């Protein structure tokens, strides 16, 4: 079962509409799943989900195998997606620079979802996710400086702005898998 899965258009719509009333762990899996990892890796990463939950998402048409998504219809959808240019939040790096090649087409939906999750998250969820993922991904000195930036934020709007910049930096330096970890961390904390 070492397949890689991606969200379908129906899966993306479910994230926004919440029509199926998925359990929190299953919804978290739907939020973070992409083809950067095998399904076994996602089952370990997202606590509380089982292979039966994957079967549920497949039967509802919310996810599909990544190699199945390479149909002509999927390619046509991928051509219409836009690419955001990452921004570096490190000192002296505020100007937008295309530091990495354009992400794979399936990642644009992930990136849009990440931005949406950040914009909808509460202060506590953002604070906890930024501190935990920031320490893990930035290393000792950069992580310490980043924690100071988090502490300087006086409200949810400033924290959201910092989170968006941090997500862009993660995307540039570590790829969408790291951004998925941030998204998962935000979703795992009650606002």
How confident is residue 55, by pLDDT bands cut at 50, 70 and 90? very high
HSE-CB for 42 with a 13 A CA cutoff: 29
Q: Give the pLDDT score at 165.
A: 92
Least confident interval from 75-79, 95-99, 113-117, 167-171: 95-99
Min mean pLDDT across 68-77, 122-131, 135-144 is at 68-77
CA atoms within 13 A on the CB side of 190: 0
| pLDDT for position 58 | 92
Could you give the CA distance from residue 34 to residue 46 in angstroms, rounded to a whole number? Answer: 13
Q: How far apart are the first and last CA of the chain?
A: 34
d(CA 36, CA 112): 16
Looking at residue 90, its pLDDT comes to 45
Mean pLDDT to the nearest integer, 3-8: 88
Secondary structure E strands in 22-126: 63-65
User: What pLDDT is stored for residue 53 in this prediction?
Assistant: 92
Look at residue 188 in the predicted model and tell me its pLDDT: 67
- Spatial CB neighbours of 5, under 8 Å, sequence gap ≥ 6: 33, 35, 39, 42, 54, 57, 58, 63, 64, 65, 66
pLDDT for 11 beyond 80: yes
- CA-based nearest residue to 86, from 8, 185, 178: 178
CA–CA dist 106, 108 (Å, integer): 6
Decide: 151 and 86 in contact? Cβ < 8 Å. no
């Amino acid at each position: 079962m070492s397949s890689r899965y991606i969200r379908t258009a129906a899966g993306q719509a479910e994230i926004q509409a919440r029509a199926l009333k998925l359990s929190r762990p299953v919804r978290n899996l739907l939020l973070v799943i992409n083809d950067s990892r095998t399904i076994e890796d996602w089952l370990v990463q997202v606590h509380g989900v089982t292979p039966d939950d994957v079967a549920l998402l497949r039967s509802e048409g919310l996810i599909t195998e990544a190699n199945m998504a390479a149909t002509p219809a999927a390619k046509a959808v991928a051509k219409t997606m836009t690419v955001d240019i990452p921004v570096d939040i490190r000192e002296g790096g505020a100007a937008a620079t295309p530091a990495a090649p354009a992400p794979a087409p399936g990642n644009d939906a992930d990136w849009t979802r990440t931005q949406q999750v950040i914009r909808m998250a509460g202060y506590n969820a953002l604070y906890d996710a930024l501190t935990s993922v920031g320490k893990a991904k930035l290393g000792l000195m950069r992580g310490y400086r980043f924690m100071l930036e988090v502490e300087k934020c006086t409200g949810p709007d400033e924290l959201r702005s910092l989170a968006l910049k941090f997500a862009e930096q993660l995307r540039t330096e570590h790829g969408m898998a790291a951004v998925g970890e941030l998204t998962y961390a935000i979703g795992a904390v009650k606002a």
